[in-house]
Structure 1
Amino acid sequence: MTIQQTAPSSSPPPFPSPFPSSAPAVSPVGSDVPGNLAAQLADLAERRGWVERPAFHQGHRAWTHGEVHALAARAATVLAGHGVTAGDRVVLALPDGIAWVVAFLGIARLGAVAVLVNPELPAADHAFMAMDTGAALCVTGPGLEDRFADRARLGADQLLALTSSAEPAPAHPVDAHTPLYVQYTSGTTGSPKGVVHTHGDPKAYHDLIGRRLLRITGDDVTLSVSKLYFAYGFGNAFVFPLFSGSSAVLVDRRPTPAAVDELVVRHRVTLLYSVPSAYAALVADRGRGHGTCFASVRAAVSAGEGLPGELGRQVTELLGAPVLEQIGSTESGHAFCANSFDHNRPGTVGRPVPGFEVELRDRAGASVPDGTEGELWVRGPTVTSGYLNRPEETGRTLVRGWLATRDRAVREADGTYRHLGRADDMEMVGGITVSPLEVEAVLRTHPAVKEVAVVTVTDGTGVGRLRAFVVPAAPQDIGLQSLQCLQEDLLRLARERLAAFKVPRSVSLVPSLPRTPTGKLRRHLVRQGAW
């Protein structure tokens, strides 16, 4: 696949077609278009007898697999009526819900390209993504009517309403390498970049991770705190259910611990996917006397950031089920390294997902031996071929099929990988490189610490000093004197357990830390104090 350069105009050239100009514009729905994801999933549901099985739960309503695919085929006709053709890019700025699912599958059926956008982003980010992709249409939820004023727009409610009188659209012929969707990186270190994935990628996510590692069957019910417009949530709550005949619970906003309790009980959730910060909130809620029965949960998955060992133990105890940590990226589409039921080593991100190759390299690009820290390079079937409109970034990040993840790790003797943070996360203090994760792990052992981030902050003389930014576990219950004692306790704890150059010079107590919508720490903002 070639990533095209596009000028910031209203009608950019489409992605290159993989078919000759003589190819038919459309083909009948069915097994003669196996490459089209929407047609493939509809055929799969029919062949496996899933059409009457629930696929998605939202509120007190459930949609079957058959209903979802019938709605999607009619939604494709509505989208085509609004000018969408094969290769066009369509911004999808919707919260999780049946409208998101139907719109995505409708876009796929037309051979168009969905641009998955967080609806809660600032207006400037929405404008950038619409311009960067040259969107032909923007499908949005309520409250975003003015966000895409210079583009054709279709409201989600209007899309669903129009499907009632629309005829089903045939599936456009594509192959596995045809672009299907664009997803933007989370922007933990700066400007987000558009990552292109293809019609063949979702099946690989399911075959390699959902079916093989998580053993998902038609009886599973998924709840993913990570949303559909993120790589992690897209696989968890969209791909896995539709390829396995199972179902997912969709929530239009990030659920609170109380909401997670209620949803797990009501839908008898078996698979819970979340990020460390949300798991920490779930554990903290039990400390306030709240609780629920997690008897239906057979496994939890953690990704997005490293899961602290003590938190992992607490979550396992709370759920009565294993917590499987994994690591992935927007560029790889989903996880490339993961723990499984057969091999789960807490404190690591597991072994390479079958089909993926993982290497650890030093700054010069040479492989490093087991037990030695290095940067993760990944090669596999779903690694993107490039960033949209970013040839220089593509060239730096993708080298001969290998993806430079910028994640630091060490390989243990048993083949598991222990994640050590991002290469961008390293702090320089007095000419010495310090891993903030090591310092944070020590400070996090204090019972009064909820979250912590350690960064280098430049003082008035221009010298970099380590500073710990700490979110207290229960600040409303701690007096001023106790807060001051907490700062002193943390510095004392650091001096006892760390080398002198790793001890923070100061501790700042803050109400929160800046995070991306996926729960990842925005360390560059902590360094700037800009949150």
Structure 2
Amino acid sequence: MTTSRPAAAPRTTTAAVPQQRTPLPASAAGPRATPGNLAAQLADLAERRGWGDRAAFHQGHRVWTHGEVHALAARAATVLAAQGVGAGDRVVLALPDGIAWVTAFLATARLGAVAVLVNPELPAADHAFMAADTRAALCVTGPGMEERFTDRPRLGADQFLASVPTAAPAPAHPVDAHAPLYIQYTSGTTGRPKGVVHTHGDPKAYHDLIGRRLLRITRDDVTLSVSKLYFAYGFGNAFVFPLFSGSSAVLVDRRPSPAAVDELVARHRVTLLYSVPSAFAALVAERGSGHQACFASVRAAVSAGEGMPAGLGRQVTELLAAPVLEQIGSTEAGHAFCANSFDHNHPGTVGRPVPGFEVEVRDANGRPVPDGTEGELWVRGPTLTPGYLDRPEETARALVGGWLATRDLARREPDGTFRHLGRADDMEMVGGITVSPLEVEAVLRAHPAVREVAVVAVVDRLGVSRLRAFVVPEPPVHDGLREALLRLARERLAAFKVPRGVSLVPSLPRTPTGKLRRHLVRRGAW
């Protein structure tokens, strides 16, 4: 759709940029002998480009400059070292988006340690598993988590930040670009999380291939990402791209409501809005698709996490008066591997392979299929994970000959774009987050009034996927069963895994051998 402004032109922000800059201390920039260390590389880049006094992160009414961020990180590394963290150690970051997250990540990198990025809203059992699975040397946590990680050394975010100003800057530990930098967890078809390892060299590739080449991010851009820093999508959007481009990002400690998005975009003159289809649908539902003045600064929106229905894409474009660029990525790839761009934007598709990546559609035997044929999406490229943490068998299944079997269903169109058609396994994609229905079903099945249950993502009237539970109840059925099941889910599951509704049904569709026909449940076709 034609927009009301040149698609590629970045907007100038209203943030004041002082003419005089404060140089970074040499200890913050790091020695030239450690070019592989991400923290040293970013600090050196900010110094060389003169970004020291430019805004890097906005949180509430506070602004942190690039110079402040890297100076804080150098001191924060000393704080973590005092807690016993050294090169190669794993540090769990169970923090909401904010300056504590940014500082702790860079400090961990600076020490040559490995950050473990976890959603702070996960249930306690998930946190305990991830800390044990990574053999974490330290857990840095947000408020209200004092009872978590009791068998591991723990440092609260407030105590961590309070200790930073008086600490001496720490030098950067020498590592090469292939050294492990961070671990993010994904779920397999069994629901068991797997730690995905990425290296010090990966973030620069995310920026060079996507941020700079496809999104044309400059130092004048201001980012707002609804997806959080502990997810692969949000990590690139709101951490990597700003620090490599000299631009800034707005950090929000919880998922913003549509009204909050309006206010944040208007206040900070946001130019790049990253979100998932369900959140974009909420924006449209709140005010309709007519252009709103609060979005006047936005030059582009980026959508990922799940497919955006064509009708919704048009409505978002009209609301923002800016193009919507859809893309697809994975935790294993680190960020997007297939994306639309300003030069090649094909709504309804996930675009073309990101420069440096190869993408193929293959049949069940792993053979490439002709254009127009549905198959499974395989990808290889420079930022693919070297493997899952301590999961050699699962690594071998997912990574074959340097290619990643994504388990996504897709079709390659004659123009070279790819159309995403869903998942090949039983995982459900909701709000840009992959959810194992087996985990949710196990919780609901624990209720004595439940005989059978299937949890699937169902497309609502706006064309957005919502998690819904289909339950075969034990007779007699009592009126409060739906509410009781939702209450049980809220008590035992992370918020994004809680079904939006419960439908009571007489039976579930199964094969003659008793296997659930989940694709029929998704369509309600039984």
Q: TM-score range by the shorter chain?
A: 0.7 to 0.9
Which residue number in structure 2 is paired with residue 204 of structure 1? 205
Alignment of 1:141-152 (within 5 A): 141-152=142-153
- The verdict on how the C-alpha distance between 1:151 and 1:426 changes in structure 2, with shifts beyond 3 A counting, is closer
Deviations along 1:427-478, whole A, 9 cap, x unmatched?
9xxxxxxxx99xx67x747xxx875669998899xxxxxxxxxxxxxxxxxx
- Displacement of 1:390 in angstroms is 1.1
Q: Distance in 2 between matches of 1:265 and 1:126?
A: 36
Supply the AA of the counterpart residue of 2:71. A
- The verdict on how the C-alpha distance between 1:394 and 1:258 changes in structure 2, with shifts beyond 3 A counting, is same
Supply the AA of the counterpart residue of 1:115. V
RMSD: 3.1
- The verdict on how the C-alpha distance between 1:521 and 1:214 changes in structure 2, with shifts beyond 3 A counting, is farther
Which residue number in structure 2 is paired with residue 213 of structure 1? 214
Which residue number in structure 2 is paired with residue 331 of structure 1? 332
Alignment of 1:506-521 (within 5 A): none
SS in 2 for 1:293: helix
Which residue number in structure 2 is paired with residue 55 of structure 1? 56
Which residue number in structure 2 is paired with residue 317 of structure 1? 318
Q: Distance in 2 between matches of 1:27 and 1:46?
A: 10
Deviations along 1:10-67, whole A, 9 cap, x unmatched?
xxxxxxxxxxxxxxxx999222211000000000000000000000000000000000
Which residue number in structure 1 is paired with residue 178 of structure 2? 177
- The verdict on how the C-alpha distance between 1:291 and 1:131 changes in structure 2, with shifts beyond 3 A counting, is same
SS in 1 for 2:273: strand
Say whether the 8 Å CA contact 1:110–1:172 is kept in structure 2.
yes
Identity %: 78
Q: Distance in 1 between matches of 2:178 and 2:29?
A: 20
TM-score normalised by structure 1 residue count: 0.77
Deviations along 1:457-507, whole A, 9 cap, x unmatched?
8899xxxxxxxxxxxxxxxxxxxxxxxxxxxxxxxxxxxxxxxxxxxxxxx
- Say whether residues 1:403 and 2:383 are aligned partners: no
- Displacement of 1:520 in angstroms is 12
Which residue number in structure 2 is paired with residue 29 of structure 1? 30
Q: Distance in 2 between matches of 1:223 and 1:186?
A: 26
- The verdict on how the C-alpha distance between 1:394 and 1:280 changes in structure 2, with shifts beyond 3 A counting, is same
- Displacement of 1:517 in angstroms is 6.8
Alignment of 1:417-496 (within 5 A): 417-425=418-426, 444=461
Q: Distance in 2 between matches of 1:287 and 1:359?
A: 38
Q: Distance in 2 between matches of 1:288 and 1:168?
A: 50
Q: Distance in 2 between matches of 1:520 and 1:53?
A: 41
Supply the AA of the counterpart residue of 2:83. H
Which residue number in structure 2 is paired with residue 250 of structure 1? 251
Which residue number in structure 2 is paired with residue 354 of structure 1? 355
- Say whether residues 1:68 and 2:66 are aligned partners: no
- Displacement of 1:400 in angstroms is 1.2
- Displacement of 1:329 in angstroms is 0.3
- The verdict on how the C-alpha distance between 1:458 and 1:426 changes in structure 2, with shifts beyond 3 A counting, is farther
Say whether the 8 Å CA contact 1:73–1:169 is kept in structure 2.
yes
- The verdict on how the C-alpha distance between 1:450 and 1:33 changes in structure 2, with shifts beyond 3 A counting, is closer
Which residue number in structure 2 is paired with residue 223 of structure 1? 224
Supply the AA of the counterpart residue of 2:404. L
SS in 2 for 1:424: coil
Which residue number in structure 1 is paired with residue 281 of structure 2? 280
- Displacement of 1:260 in angstroms is 0.2
- The verdict on how the C-alpha distance between 1:94 and 1:28 changes in structure 2, with shifts beyond 3 A counting, is closer
- The verdict on how the C-alpha distance between 1:28 and 1:285 changes in structure 2, with shifts beyond 3 A counting, is closer
Is there any run of 5+ residues in structure 2 with no aligned partner, and where?
Answer: 1-26, 429-455, 475-485, 501-516
SS in 2 for 1:243: helix
- The verdict on how the C-alpha distance between 1:151 and 1:519 changes in structure 2, with shifts beyond 3 A counting, is closer
- Say whether residues 1:298 and 2:287 are aligned partners: no
Q: Distance in 1 between matches of 2:498 and 2:425?
A: 13
Supply the AA of the counterpart residue of 2:84. G
- The verdict on how the C-alpha distance between 1:201 and 1:339 changes in structure 2, with shifts beyond 3 A counting, is same
Say whether the 8 Å CA contact 1:225–1:254 is kept in structure 2.
yes
Which residue number in structure 2 is paired with residue 160 of structure 1? 161
- The verdict on how the C-alpha distance between 1:524 and 1:269 changes in structure 2, with shifts beyond 3 A counting, is farther
Q: Distance in 2 between matches of 1:459 and 1:353?
A: 48
Say whether the 8 Å CA contact 1:27–1:173 is kept in structure 2.
no
Which residue number in structure 2 is paired with residue 80 of structure 1? 81
SS in 1 for 2:197: strand
SS in 2 for 1:336: strand
Deviations along 1:264-287, whole A, 9 cap, x unmatched?
000000000000110111111104
Say whether the 8 Å CA contact 1:455–1:526 is kept in structure 2.
no
Supply the AA of the counterpart residue of 2:134. T
Which residue number in structure 2 is paired with residue 124 of structure 1? 125
- Displacement of 1:187 in angstroms is 6.1
Which residue number in structure 2 is paired with residue 376 of structure 1? 377
Q: Distance in 1 between matches of 2:135 and 2:147?
A: 17
- The verdict on how the C-alpha distance between 1:144 and 1:351 changes in structure 2, with shifts beyond 3 A counting, is same
Say whether the 8 Å CA contact 1:214–1:340 is kept in structure 2.
yes
Q: Distance in 1 between matches of 2:326 and 2:158?
A: 37
Say whether the 8 Å CA contact 1:230–1:518 is kept in structure 2.
no
Deviations along 1:125-154, whole A, 9 cap, x unmatched?
000000000000000011111101110011
TM-score normalised by structure 2 residue count: 0.78
Which residue number in structure 1 is paired with residue 341 of structure 2? 340
SS in 2 for 1:114: strand
- The verdict on how the C-alpha distance between 1:240 and 1:323 changes in structure 2, with shifts beyond 3 A counting, is same
Which residue number in structure 2 is paired with residue 490 of structure 1? none
SS in 2 for 1:233: helix
Say whether the 8 Å CA contact 1:186–1:516 is kept in structure 2.
no
Q: Distance in 2 between matches of 1:519 and 1:339?
A: 29
Which residue number in structure 2 is paired with residue 363 of structure 1? 364
- Displacement of 1:391 in angstroms is 1.1
Which residue number in structure 2 is paired with residue 44 of structure 1? 45
Say whether the 8 Å CA contact 1:223–1:249 is kept in structure 2.
yes
SS in 1 for 2:425: helix
Say whether the 8 Å CA contact 1:55–1:245 is kept in structure 2.
yes
Q: Distance in 1 between matches of 2:520 and 2:161?
A: 42
Q: Distance in 2 between matches of 1:525 and 1:74?
A: 52
Alignment of 1:264-279 (within 5 A): 264-279=265-280
Give the paired residue count.
Answer: 439
- The verdict on how the C-alpha distance between 1:191 and 1:521 changes in structure 2, with shifts beyond 3 A counting, is farther
Supply the AA of the counterpart residue of 2:379. V
Which residue number in structure 1 is paired with residue 234 of structure 2? 233
Supply the AA of the counterpart residue of 2:196. V
Is there any run of 5+ residues in structure 1 with no aligned partner, and where?
Answer: 1-25, 428-435, 461-509
Say whether the 8 Å CA contact 1:275–1:519 is kept in structure 2.
no
Supply the AA of the counterpart residue of 2:263. E
Q: Distance in 2 between matches of 1:406 and 1:230?
A: 19
- The verdict on how the C-alpha distance between 1:456 and 1:93 changes in structure 2, with shifts beyond 3 A counting, is closer
Q: Distance in 1 between matches of 2:99 and 2:349?
A: 35
